[in-house]
């Protein structure tokens, strides 16, 4: 605006708010640099700003009742585990004996038992599957009764309850090859179930789902949930299962239900290779597309584990980051700053120790990564699709091999932990709503709520509209407007280009469906087909472009498109948008045609473009976070495959926002001015 | 003299009353009657059903007058005030287990009730007054039974079924409150209607902790009156009060197998009966053994009914009644009767002891019914009713006498609150997984769609299903509606209830004909069993989670309104006070004597952008507000705005984080459930 003539400037009187806007746009470069730096800094500051968790819903009252689990329940569980082990050691194992044994025990304890037979579903990529709800009629399709897995379901009806709500316990196990840890997890569920059949305080029904995980843990739970929420017609009635069950057990042949689910707990026992001084509990919570269960559920589980049973609660973290020196340096800086802050005012509770900071960041990064990936971290993810809060509780014993007496103690503690959590959820009259749904964990008892973690993202994204506006005004004030009559419509041409490139992105996202039609191809060839088809599509679309001289307008539109895309994505999956913004924002801001820009700037742009490509970005992220990666294209293909198999919105983001912006950036870089 | 006379009259009256009240106990006046009965029935899953049955009768008013000795006055007045022809009120806690406790016999068919409160009444008034009578009745009952029955007053909660609930019922209103908690405060007023309350007689067994500890608890009040019916002039008011409790006696466990427990009155209730209620005409205890149990015991070899090796009573039964013309085959149940005399010497404590282990299963309803919700998300869903065959329906003939395919008729009556917007045209019927055409499966259908905030949706449907079906299901899709903020109950986040649907089988009637060896004793309970009645069963109550607003929303509304007002008044003031010429003059003056700071700043900014520095005469950034008052107003407005905006941001963050589930957004944007 500095170049505006004096008279014009005096005639155009702007309101203060507009003047501030004009001022910011005029200093867009400075603002961009400051905002980006502040955004990255705020991101590093997040572990320091994490708050302590607290139980928000008073009705939960965790730990207010003493544990009622008795030796009888535990000895029953021990007997059950022994029977399972003896079954395993028998020669032939067709995968039916173990469900039958579980059903027998469930029925003897007084549960209502039924089987659920299901078949695995292939991970076919359906391009329109993203946009349509799954067809309920799919269940009616006649299936062959050949290979099916059997979930065993036991239901305790609350004696005085009205049966409107239920709590689900899930124990995944593989009936074909039952491991010791799976047997232990079944034992823990047994001890809790055995207690719950006798208690009088139940207000919600209890469902114990022994999920047959021979086709995957997630699949079995998802199949059961799908069945639970749609009318079922068992087209194939296999009699070999029911008839051979011992006489005294009544297993109903129909599918049983028990009201709306209030919460679900997946119980697993980890196979510990290393020895700890304490039993520990790992909590996994991430469901598809970064959806999290209510924080209260995690809180009660960790509260009861720590205060009730003396477990050490852990949340997943990137181990490679714990030893990273650069992180330790940052930690030292923050510790120092914290000390200064405290010396200034003892009221300021700012600053953490280095160890805490490093652990917090490692957990935070893992939390961000898992949410951004959009792939559930366990079978609890299936519940989130039905708005049921669910977590996986993975208990790891302190010793890898468990002795007899140790096993009893372990079952006792595991059983009482489950009992405590169920009792707490049972107390709850309403569904979980009191605490947070949007948060990142930095440890099992520290979290960052949405109000805090959106600040770095906003700071990162804020320069984009400013840069776009400044470029646009620059282009309008350029010396030689080509055609004066259409001056105000000049932005239409670059918009068309940007639109076509985004259209290309949409086509790219659909192409895997066609590559899947190629019979028996290996991943590398599929990936190459995908890439070549994409390039071909780009060339075809290229013929619609009209080359013109102005790159500023094109960049302006590109930047605004990426801004819109990032903001939309932040609503769907915040973590993806956050990580995406880290790649996209510097690239979009930095890029200039190499003829216009200096050598250093073009070099930086080139480096950013190399890292900004989704494929290389994938390897960079993996290398940075220390995820053991296989080699080559296969890995990348499998990764992409998993993304669309899990219906992850990240896939949509990469194809519809990230990739087009990347292509546009290259286009700008190579622009002939 | 007059005073003396009056004293004399009073004396005579008092004496008369005294003599009458003593005489009444001894001789039963042929008018009013009260009987008390108790039925025990061992259940297959090691529990015991106890069913109390009290009946009070009063002859019609025209022949008997308005004064009663036994009949509760409150009920009499109620009947007369609201001109009730028939009424039933039940309070239930827990669920009746149709599979293991039976669903075919008269006791379960009439005493298995949905959880909470259920009320229906038939009025003898003109059709336009029925609703008014119903509303008054709910309020009266609410006061009488200490329950929130008055919530049934609102027209959104009750309905008027035409034919599926009771045949040919006009002037009938039906309502239920699934969430009503039932406790002793409801039992006490109910007991007050009995002439002996719980002080003596069978009702003295009702020890509160033991009857509320049970697995099922249902107290019911049913009354019929012929007062307003000129045809049945000899039929007065009959009040039938029942309490059905399923209790679990302490079980024996031997070698891992759980056996049928022995039980007695004292072990079940912790109390014994001292004697019958002095006002009762008869006081009987019955033990009923089901047909299949009797059948299973016979296999183990015994001769007569009197001596049975399988079990024994602590008191020998006074009479034994065997079921005749049983509906199903050779299984006929046996009823053992014990009458309680007015003996004060020894408390009556009936015990039942098993000698041999026996297992059996009870007679189930023709179909096993369950109802559940389909779909996910806060937008829409579907109700599914699944009907599954039981052994009973599998034994039905496949082909009728007339060589026609046998059809099983099932009536469904379902009331759905208005905020669950059911689309009745989406009704689909599947039989064994095959979709059926409407005409094939549905014989009769009457629907009254819900009207927002006025009336619930009512569906009455008569299905005809093939007898050889394995399973059938009926699905109805619905949209979840939005409520106004003050229509939400305090616990809105729990979800909203859809009351139980009623399934009845009009083709089958339950009735147990007992051959009585002693015809002189007429038992109202046994005669009740002999009445033919439709088999009814109730489905589960459903819980639908609806979208609930953030209830701290009023605060947000206040902040946003304030912001809008601030903006509006700000711009209005701006427009009103602005004088362009004056401002320009002032600006020019300002420009002349612009200070050092602005020029320094513009120099700096010019350097930053790498452009030659223009002299400060071009002043895009150096405009100052003209008058002092305007500045003050602007500052005030800006302050207000700033505070409001800060508040808004704060609230928005908290809403985002806490209250809104992101799922909704994702669902809206993607329209998918992220399955696989």
At B457 the pLDDT is 94
Q: How far is Cα B19 from Cα A279, in angstroms, rounded to an integer?
A: 82
Average pLDDT over residues A432-452: 90
At A643 the pLDDT is 82
Contacts of B111 (CB under 8 A, 6+ apart): B51, B96, B218, B220, B242, B244
Q: How confident is the model at residue B192 (pLDDT cuts 50, 70, 90)?
A: very high
At B585 the pLDDT is 82
Taking 60 as the threshold, does the pLDDT of residue A447 lie above it?
A: yes
Of A22, A132, A259, the CB nearest to B543: A259
Which is more confidently placed, B74 or A320?
B74
What would the pLDDT profile of B476-491 be if each residue is shown by its tens digit? 999 998 888 888 888 8
Phi (first) and psi of residue A571, to 5 degrees: -75, -40
Taking 60 as the threshold, does the pLDDT of residue B2 lie above it?
A: no
- Spatial contact of A383 and A469, defined as CB atoms under 8 Å apart: no
Average pLDDT over residues A423-437: 90
CB pairs under 8 A between A and B: 204
Q: Which two tokens stand for residue B444?
A: 């009769």
How close does chain B come to A240, measured CA to CA in Å?
A: 19
Burial of A109 (0-12, 13-18, 19+ CB in 10 A): buried
Q: Give the whole-number percent of chain B exceeding pLDDT 70.
A: 75
Which is more confidently placed, B108 or A14?
B108
Per-chain mean pLDDT for chain B: 80
How close does chain B come to A325, measured CA to CA in Å?
A: 33
- Spatial contact of B539 and B385, defined as CB atoms under 8 Å apart: yes
Compare all CA atoms of chain A with the CA of B46 and give the residue at the minimum distance: A110
At B593 the pLDDT is 62
What would the pLDDT profile of A396-411 be if each residue is shown by its tens digit? 887 766 677 888 989 9
Taking 70 as the threshold, does the pLDDT of residue B506 lie above it?
A: yes
Taking 70 as the threshold, does the pLDDT of residue A249 lie above it?
A: no
Contacts of A468 (CB under 8 A, 6+ apart): A556, A557, A559, A560, A563
Per-chain mean pLDDT for chain A: 83
Q: How confident is the model at residue A463 (pLDDT cuts 50, 70, 90)?
A: very high
Contacts of A5 (CB under 8 A, 6+ apart): B618
Taking 80 as the threshold, does the pLDDT of residue B39 lie above it?
A: yes
Q: Which of residues 56-95 of B touch A (CB under 8 A)?
A: 93-95
Average pLDDT over residues B51-66: 88
Q: How far is Cα A257 from Cα A164, in angstroms, rounded to an integer?
A: 10
What would the pLDDT profile of B544-582 be if each residue is shown by its tens digit? 988 888 777 778 888 889 999 999 998 888 888 877 777
Q: How confident is the model at residue A221 (pLDDT cuts 50, 70, 90)?
A: very high
Taking 80 as the threshold, does the pLDDT of residue A633 lie above it?
A: no
Taking 90 as the threshold, does the pLDDT of residue B61 lie above it?
A: no
Q: Does B662 touch chain A (CB under 8 A)?
A: yes
How close does chain A come to B94, measured CA to CA in Å?
A: 4
At B242 the pLDDT is 95
Average pLDDT over residues B611-640: 50
Average pLDDT over residues A49-58: 90
Average pLDDT over residues B122-150: 93
At B605 the pLDDT is 66
Residue the block writes with tokens 């059961």: A224
At A495 the pLDDT is 87
Average pLDDT over residues A336-363: 84
Average pLDDT over residues A171-176: 90
Q: At what angle do helices A659-669 and A551-572 cross, to 10 degrees?
A: 160
Q: How far is Cα A187 from Cα A79, in angstroms, rounded to an integer?
A: 9
Instruction: State how beta strands A389-396 and A260-269 pair.
Output: parallel
Radius of gyration of chain B (CA): 37
| Chain B positions in Cβ-Cβ contact with residue A132 (cut-off 8 Å) | 671-672
Burial of B255 (0-12, 13-18, 19+ CB in 10 A): exposed
What would the pLDDT profile of B338-377 be if each residue is shown by its tens digit? 888 776 667 888 899 888 888 888 888 888 899 999 988 8
Q: Which two tokens stand for residue B130?
A: 């029925």
Q: How confident is the model at residue B393 (pLDDT cuts 50, 70, 90)?
A: low
| Chain A positions in Cβ-Cβ contact with residue B46 (cut-off 8 Å) | none
Average pLDDT over residues B387-407: 69
Q: How many CB atoms lie within 10 A of CB B142?
A: 17
At B674 the pLDDT is 37
At B418 the pLDDT is 93
Taking 80 as the threshold, does the pLDDT of residue A125 lie above it?
A: no
Average pLDDT over residues B252-274: 80
At A65 the pLDDT is 87
- Spatial contact of B86 and B122, defined as CB atoms under 8 Å apart: yes
Residue the block writes with tokens 């806690």: B93
Taking 70 as the threshold, does the pLDDT of residue A371 lie above it?
A: yes
Q: How confident is the model at residue A207 (pLDDT cuts 50, 70, 90)?
A: very high
Average pLDDT over residues A210-231: 89
At B621 the pLDDT is 39
At A121 the pLDDT is 67
SS3 of A592-626: the string is: CCCCCCCHHHHHHHHHHHHHHCHHHHHHHHHHHHC
Give the three-class secondary structure for A485: helix
Of A288, A438, A571, the CB nearest to B674: A288
Which is more confidently placed, A617 or A536?
A536
Taking 50 as the threshold, does the pLDDT of residue B675 lie above it?
A: no
Q: Which range, A3-12, A233-242, B429-438, has the best average confidence (pLDDT)?
A: B429-438
Q: Which of residues 246-265 of A touch B (CB under 8 A)?
A: 248, 254, 257, 259-260
- Give the burial string for A397-424 (b: 16+ CB within 10 Å, else e): bbeeebeeeebbebbbbbbbbbbbbbbb
pTM value > 0.80: yes
| Chain B positions in Cβ-Cβ contact with residue A9 (cut-off 8 Å) | 618-620
Average pLDDT over residues A151-163: 91
């Amino acid at each position: 605006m500095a170049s505006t003539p004096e008279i014009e400037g005096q005639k155009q009187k702007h309101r203060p708010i507009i003047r501030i806007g004009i001022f910011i746009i005029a200093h867009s470069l400075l603002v961009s640099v400051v905002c980006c730096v502040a955004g990255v800094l705020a991101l590093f500051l997040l572990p320091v700003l994490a708050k302590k968790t607290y139980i928000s819903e008073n009705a939960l009252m965790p730990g207010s009742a003493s544990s009622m689990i008795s030796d009888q329940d535990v000895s029953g569980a021990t007997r059950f585990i022994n029977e399972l082990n003896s079954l395993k050691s028998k020669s032939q194992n067709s995968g039916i004996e173990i469900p039958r044994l579980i059903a027998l025990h469930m029925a003897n304890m007084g549960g209502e038992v039924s089987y659920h037979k299901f078949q695995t579903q292939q991970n076919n990529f359906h391009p329109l599957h993203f946009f349509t709800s799954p067809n309920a009629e799919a269940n009616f399709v006649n299936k062959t009764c050949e290979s099916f897995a059997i979930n065993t379901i036991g239901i305790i009806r609350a004696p005085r309850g009205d049966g409107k709500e239920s709590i689900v316990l899930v124990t995944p196990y593989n009936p074909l090859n039952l491991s010791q840890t799976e047997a232990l997890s079944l034992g823990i569920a047994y001890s809790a179930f055995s207690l719950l059949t006798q208690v009088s305080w139940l207000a919600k029904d209890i469902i114990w789902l022994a999920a047959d995980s021979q086709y995957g843990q997630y699949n079995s739970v998802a199949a059961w949930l799908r069945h639970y929420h749609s009318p079922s017609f068992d087209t194939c009635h296999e009699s070999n299962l029911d008839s051979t069950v011992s006489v005294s057990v009544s297993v109903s042949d129909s599918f049983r239900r028990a009201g709306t689910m209030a919460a679900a707990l997946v119980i697993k026992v980890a196979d510990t290779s290393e020895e700890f001084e304490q039993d520990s509990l790992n909590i996994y919570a991430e469901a598809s597309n970064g959806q999290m269960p209510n924080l209260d559920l995690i809180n009660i589980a960790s509260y009861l584990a720590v205060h009730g049973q003396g477990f050490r609660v852990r949340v997943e973290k990137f181990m490679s980051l714990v030893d990273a020196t650069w992180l330790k340096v940052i930690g030292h800086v923050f510790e120092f700053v914290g000390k200064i802050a405290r010396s200034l005012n003892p009221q300021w509770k700012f600053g953490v120790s280095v160890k805490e900071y490093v652990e917090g960041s490692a957990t935070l990064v893992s939390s961000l990564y898992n949410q951004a990936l959009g792939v559930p971290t366990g079978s609890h993810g299936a519940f989130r699709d039905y708005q049921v809060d669910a977590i996986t509780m993975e208990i790891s014993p302190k010793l890898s091999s468990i002795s007899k007496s140790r096993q009893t103690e372990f079952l006792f503690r595991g059983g009482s932990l489950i009992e405590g959590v169920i009792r707490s959820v049972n107390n709850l009259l309403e569904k979980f709503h009191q605490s947070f749904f949007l948060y990142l964990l930095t440890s099992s008892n520290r979290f960052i709520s949405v109000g805090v973690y959106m600040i770095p993202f906003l700071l990162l994204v804020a320069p984009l509209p400013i840069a776009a506006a400044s470029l646009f005004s620059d282009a309008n004030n350029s010396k030689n407007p080509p055609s004066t009559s259409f001056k105000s419509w000049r932005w239409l041409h670059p918009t068309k280009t940007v639109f076509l490139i985004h259209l290309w992105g949409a086509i790219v996202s659909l192409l895997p469906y066609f590559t899947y039609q190629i019979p028996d191809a290996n991943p590398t060839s599929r990936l190459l087909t995908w890439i070549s088809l994409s390039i071909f599509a780009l060339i075809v679309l290229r013929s619609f472009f009209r080359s013109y001289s102005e790159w500023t307008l094109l960049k302006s539109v590109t930047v605004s498109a990426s801004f819109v895309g990032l903001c939309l994505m932040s609503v769907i999956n915040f973590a993806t948008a956050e990580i995406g913004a880290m790649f996209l924002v510097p690239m979009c801001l930095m890029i200039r045609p190499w003829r216009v820009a200096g050598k250093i700037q073009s070099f930086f742009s080139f480096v950013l473009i190399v890292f900004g490509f989704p494929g290389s970005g994938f390897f960079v992220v993996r290398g940075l976070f220390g995820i053991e990666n296989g080699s080559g294209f296969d890995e990348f293909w499998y990764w992409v495959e998993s993304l669309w198999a899990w219906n992850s919105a990240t896939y949509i983001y990469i194809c519809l926002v990230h990739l087009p912006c990347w292509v546009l950036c290259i286009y700008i870089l190579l622009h002939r001015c | 003299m007059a005073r003396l006379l009056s004293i004399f009259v009073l004396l005579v009256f008092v004496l008369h009353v005294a003599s009458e009240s003593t005489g009444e106990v001894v001789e039963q006046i042929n008018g009013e009657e009260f009987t008390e009965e108790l039925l025990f029935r061992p259940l297959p899953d090691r529990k015991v059903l106890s069913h109390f049955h009290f009946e009070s009768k009063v002859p019609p008013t025209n022949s008997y007058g308005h004064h009663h000795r036994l009949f509760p006055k409150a009920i009499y007045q109620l009947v007369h005030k609201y001109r009730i022809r028939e009424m039933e009120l039940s309070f239930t806690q827990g669920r009746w287990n149709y599979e293991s406790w039976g669903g075919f016999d008269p006791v379960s068919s009439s005493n298995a009730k949905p959880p909470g409160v259920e009320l229906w009444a038939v009025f003898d008034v003109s059709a336009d007054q029925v609703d008014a009578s119903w509303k008054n009745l709910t309020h009266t009952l609410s006061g009488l039974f200490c329950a929130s029955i008055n919530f049934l007053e609102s027209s959104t909660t009750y309905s008027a079924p035409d034919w599926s609930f009771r045949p040919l019922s006009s002037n009938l209103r039906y309502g239920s409150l699934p969430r009503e908690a039932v406790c002793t405060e409801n039992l006490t007023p109910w007991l007050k209607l009995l002439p002996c309350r719980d002080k003596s007689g069978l009702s003295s067994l009702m020890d509160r902790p033991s009857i509320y500890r049970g697995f099922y608890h249902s107290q019911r009040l049913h009354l019929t009156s012929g007062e307003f019916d000129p045809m049945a002039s000899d039929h007065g008011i009959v009040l039938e009060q029942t309490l059905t409790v399923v209790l679990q006696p302490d079980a024996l466990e031997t070698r891992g197998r759980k056996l049928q427990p022995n039980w007695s009155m004292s072990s079940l209730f912790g109390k014994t009966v001292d004697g019958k209620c002095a006002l009762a005409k008869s006081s009987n205890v019955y033990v009923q053994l089901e047909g299949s149990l009797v059948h299973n015991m016979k296999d183990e070899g015994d001769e007569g009914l009197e001596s049975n090796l399988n079990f024994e009573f602590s008191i020998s039964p006074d009479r034994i009644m065997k079921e005749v013309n049983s509906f199903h085959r050779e299984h006929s149940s046996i009823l053992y009767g014990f009458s309680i005399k007015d003996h004060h010497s020894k408390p009556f404590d009936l015990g039942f002891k098993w000698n041999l282990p026996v297992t059996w299963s009870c007679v189930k309803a023709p179909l096993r019914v369950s109802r559940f919700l389909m779909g996910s998300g806060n937008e829409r869903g579907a109700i599914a009713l699944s009907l599954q065959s039981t052994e009973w329906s599998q034994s039905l003939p496949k082909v009728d006498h007339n060589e026609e395919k046998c059809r099983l008729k099932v009536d469904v009556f379902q009331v759905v609150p208005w905020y669950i917007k059911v689309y009745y045209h989406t009704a689909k019927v599947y039989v064994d997984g095959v979709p059926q055409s409407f005409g094939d499966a549905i014989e009769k259908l009457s629907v009254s769609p819900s009207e927002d905030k006025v009336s619930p949706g009512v569906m009455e449907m008569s299905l005809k299903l093939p007898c050889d079906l394995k399973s059938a299901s009926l699905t109805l899709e619905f949209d979840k509606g939005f409520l106004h903020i003050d229509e939400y109950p305090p616990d809105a986040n729990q979800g909203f209830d859809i009351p139980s649907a009623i399934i009845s089988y009009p083709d089958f009637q339950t009735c147990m004909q007992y051959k009585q060896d002693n015809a002189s004793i007429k038992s109202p309970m046994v005669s009740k069993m002999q009445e033919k009645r439709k088999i009814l069963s109730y489905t589960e109550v459903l819980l639908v989670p609806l979208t609930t607003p953030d209830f701290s929303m009023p605060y947000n509304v206040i902040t946003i309104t304030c912001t809008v007002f601030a903006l509006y008044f700000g711009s209005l003031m701006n427009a009103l006070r602005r004088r362009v010429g004056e401002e320009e003059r002032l600006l020019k003056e300002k420009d002349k004597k612009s200070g050092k700071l602005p020029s320094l700043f513009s120099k700096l900014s010019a350097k930053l952008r790498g452009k030659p520095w223009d002299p400060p005469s071009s002043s895009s950034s150096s405009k100052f507000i003209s008058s002092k008052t305007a500045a003050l107003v602007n500052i005030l407005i800006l302050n207000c705005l700033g505070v409001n905006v800060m508040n808004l941001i704060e609230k928005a963050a908290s809403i985002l984080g806490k209250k809104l589930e992101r799922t909704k957004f994702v669902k809206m944007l993607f329209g998918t459930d992220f399955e696989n």
